[in-house]
Amino acid sequence: MTGGLEGYDAVAEANAQKSVLAIHWSRICERLKAEVGEVEYRTWLRQITVGPVDEDEITLYLPTRFLRDWVRGQYGDRLGTLWNAEVPAIRRVELQVARPGSASAPLPADGAAAAASAVSEDTPPQPAAAPAPAPEEPRHAEVRSDLAAPLDPRFTFDTFVVGKPNEFAYACARRVAERPSSPGFNPLFLYGGVGLGKTHLMHAIGAELLREGKVSVAYMSAEKFMYRFIAAIRSQSTMEFKEQLRSVDVLMIDDLQFLIGKDNTQEEFFHTFNALVDAGRQIVVSADKSPSDLSGLEDRLRTRLGCGMVADIHATTFELRISILEAKASASGVVVPAKVLEFLAHKITSNVRELEGALNRLIAHANLFGRPVTLEATQDVLHDILKAHDRRVTIEEIQRKVAEHWNIRLTDMSSARRARAVARPRQVAMYLAKQLTSRSLPEIGRKFGNRDHTTVMHAVTRVTELMEQDPAFAEDVELLRRMLES
C-alpha cells in the first residue's frame, strides 16, 4: 500500500491540524469529567459543542437556554480557565444556544466534528451564531453497508459456546447489544489471541442490535478502516467519510492492532472515536492485546480505549473445546463419537478456528463417503493437521497448559506465591517437566523462577504421592500428560 500514497502524509498532517481543537476539547472533557464526576459531566457538560474561535474567544454551544445558563453559572469560569490552560491564546469562553430547531433534534454533541469543521477549509466557515449540528438522519436499523463490511450470519450469540475462558467477554457483549452506550461499557474493548471468538462476538452484537431494529451499525476491520480512510483522502472526500462514520449508532472496529505504526490512521480513528463517544454512541473494538499492552498505539488512544469495559477472552480450556465441538457436530447432523471429539480437543488446542476446520473436514469426509466417523478415520483424514501439532513438548508449554488447566496466571509458574491454589499447579508442572522433557532438575528449577533443584525434586515426590492418594487428582495429571504428549 505504499505506492501511490504520495501526499498522504501531507493531507493527513493537515487533517491533524484541523482537528487540533478537537484534541484540546477532548482533553478538557477528560479533566472536567475527573473534576465533576461522570454523572454531572453527562448531565450538563457532555452536551457542549465546540464552535469557532474568534481572536481570543472560543464559542461553545448548548442545545437549550436552560442548559446554557446553568453551564454558564456553574462552569463558565472553569471552562475559561481550562481552555486557557490548553490554548493560551484563548482567554474567553462564550456560551451560546444552538440555533432553534437544531436544539430539539437528538443532539450529536459532536465536539470533535464541530471543532474540526471550525478550523477546516474543507467546509465553508459557519456563521458564528448558527452552529446547527448537522441534521440527524432518521434512525432505523441498518448495517451501514456503504462503509462497513457485512455481518456473517453464522456469528450470533446463539452459536457462540460459552465457557469459563470467554464468559465475561460474552456477558459484556450481550450487555452492549441489549443496551448500547451504557455508562461503563463504552467503549467495549474485546481482546484475546487469534481464533478465540472476538470477531464472532462483534458480529453477534451487530446481529442482535439489528434484530432489535433500533440502530445503525457499522462493522469493519481496522485494516479496512485504514483503506477507506486513504481512499477518502485520495478522492478528497474525507469529510464525507467522517460524517458517514460519525452518523452511526454503533461502530465496531476489529483487530485494532493493525493500526500500530499507522499514525495518521490512528489519529483519524481517535477523532472518530471521540466524536462518537461524546455523542453517546457505542464503540466496540477488538485487538489481540489489552489496551495497555498495545505498545505502538498512541498513549491518548490507549487511555481512551481502556476507559470503558475491557474484556479478555482467554485461551480455550479442554472443556470449552469439547463443548464447541459438540455444538458444531450436532449442528452438522453427522454423528461424531465422543472419543473423536476428545481426541480433537486434546490435539488442537491453539484456536477455535483450527478446531472447527478439523471438525468440518471430518464431517465433509463422512458426508462424502457415507462412512461413520471413527478415531482411525480421523487420524487418517486429519493426518496433516495433526502432524503440524505434533511437536516436542517444552517447559513453557507445560507451564501454559497447567496454568490454563487450573486457571491460574502463567506468571505464577515463576512467582514466589505459595498459596496452595498456585503452588500445587506449579508442582504439577515441575513434575510433568521432569516426566516429559529431558531437562535436568536444576534446569527445570531455573525455568520456574530460579528455584533450587531440591524444590523440583520435592515437587516430583509430592505429586507422585498425591496421585496415589487422590484418584481425581491423578486423573487430572494424567489428562494433562496425555494432552502434552499427544
List the binding residues for ATP. 195, 197-199
The answer to whether 221 contacts Mg ion (rule: CB under 5 A) is no
205 binds ligand ADP (CB under 6 A): no
Span from 51-59, 156-164, 302-310, 363-371 in contact with ligand ADP (CB under 6 A): 156-164
State the Rg of the chain over Cα. 28
CA 25/CA 82 separation, integer angstroms: 9
Nearer to ligand ADP (CB atom), residue 166 or residue 317: 166
Helices 167-178 & 198-212, crossing angle to 10 degrees? Answer: 20
Using alpha carbons, list the distances in angstroms from residue 310 to 41, 173, 213, 248, 292.
22, 11, 26, 22, 10
Query: Residues of 424-459 as b/e, b for ≥16 C-beta within 10 angstroms?
Result: bbbbbbbbbbbebbebebeebbbbbeebeeebbeeb
Rounded least distance, CB 394 to ligand ADP, Å: 24
What is the DSSP-derived secondary structure letter of residue 138? P
Nearer to ligand ADP, 166 or 399 (CB): 166
Binding of ligand ADP by 40 (CB under 6 A):
no
Q: Among the candidate windows 158-166, 232-240, 418-426, 443-451, which touches ligand ADP by CB under 6 A? A: 158-166
Site for Mg ion in 72-131 (CB under 5 A): none
Tell me whether residue 159 or residue 182 sits nearer to ligand ADP (CB atom): 159
**One symbol per residue from 341 to 380: x for binding ligand ADP (CB under 6 A), - otherwise; what is it?**
-----------xx--x------------------------
Integer Cα distance of 137 and 144 in angstroms: 13
x/- mask, ligand ADP, residues 161-190, rule CB under 6 A, reads x----x------------------------
Count the Cβ atoms, other than its own, within 10 Å of residue 233.
21
State the helix-helix crossing angle for 20-36 and 111-118, rounded to 10 degrees. 140
Q: Which member of 46, 198, 242, 271 binds ligand ADP (CB under 6 A)?
A: 198
Grid cell, residue 413, equals: 509458574
Q: Are 425 and 403 contacting, i.e. CB atoms less than 8 angstroms apart?
A: yes
Interacting partner of 155 out of Mg ion, ligand ADP, none (Cβ under 5 to 8 A depending on kind):
ligand ADP
Q: Which is nearer to Mg ion, 353 or 462 (CB)?
A: 353
Residue 199 as a binder of Mg ion (CB under 5 A): the answer is: yes
**Which segments are annotated as binding site?**
195, 197-199
Q: Of 160 and 273, which has the nearer Cβ to ligand ADP?
A: 160
Closest distance to Mg ion from the beta carbon of 222 (Å):
11
d(CA 360, CA 366): 10
The option from ligand ADP, Mg ion, none interacting with 12 (CB < 5 to 8 A, set by class) reads none
Q: Which residues contact 116 (CB under 8 A, 6 or more apart)?
A: 18, 19, 21, 22, 242, 271
